[in-house]
Copies of this chain bind each other. A is one copy, B any other.
């Protein structure tokens, strides 16, 4: 541990979270598996007031540039309903183009899921994960990753039943959580009011085995030091372990 990594939680002992949670406590998490009657896999996931509908659509075949290689493809699309937020935003379909934030999050979800699937075991099949935010209260991208894994797992059960895949393409589970520093204190799972106050904001994607898939830390205000980074990673590792457990329970494993 570098010398400047004085445990941040000791710095201002009188910090209180708006919703009364401990700094290392997740919001209430609810995952409703199979919410959609149409998709091959689906989950409505709630992290407090954040609600994301995740569906997994399985189709035979892969994009042209991958054909004949014996590998499948997994991709994701993230979007937000116009009134998911406290003020209405214009629809991206109406604007005629997708914004940078949407692009960035869609790519992040896709990479995160591909990290725990063996594309060769998937065979030449494509899975599209749609993550639509019905209501937003911070942490929508991490809720989306956590819910999309459940939808994907459910879709793999379907695909084995249908004979589209034979083995188990999933190599591990994956979940994600946001962490941040507020008034110098590292905290876990930020709702929107905390998110806007955070000096540093980090999204961490972690496998069921506890290894990192993505670490995306951003100094919103002041730059952060190595000690702060370490504290944030510690919180995220613990938070994702809890999420992985909830995923297992939801999937009846």
Binding site for B on A (CB under 8 A): 1-2, 36-39, 42, 49, 53, 55, 57, 59, 77, 79, 81-88, 91-104, 106-107, 111, 115, 128, 130, 132, 134-136, 172, 202, 206-207, 209, 211-219, 222-226, 229, 233
Contacts and interface: CB of A to CB of B under 8 A. Distances in A.
Contacts of A222: 211
Contact of A212 (B36, B88, B224): B224
B132 A81 contact: yes
A119 to B, nearest CB: 11
Given A39-B83, A100-B104, A229-B212, A57 B88 contact: yes
A111 to B, nearest CB: 6
A134 B81 CA distance: 11
Contact of A93 (B55, B79, B84, B224): B79
Nearest to A151: B83
Contacts of A96: 96-97
Contacts of A53: 81, 134
30 contacts: A36-B83, A37-B49, A38-B83, A38-B84, A53-B81, A55-B81, A55-B82, A57-B83, A57-B87, A59-B88, A81-B130, A91-B93, A93-B97, A93-B98, A93-B102, A96-B96, A96-B97, A103-B103, A111-B218, A115-B223, A134-B134, A172-B223, A211-B219, A211-B223, A212-B219, A212-B223, A212-B224, A212-B225, A212-B226, A229-B233
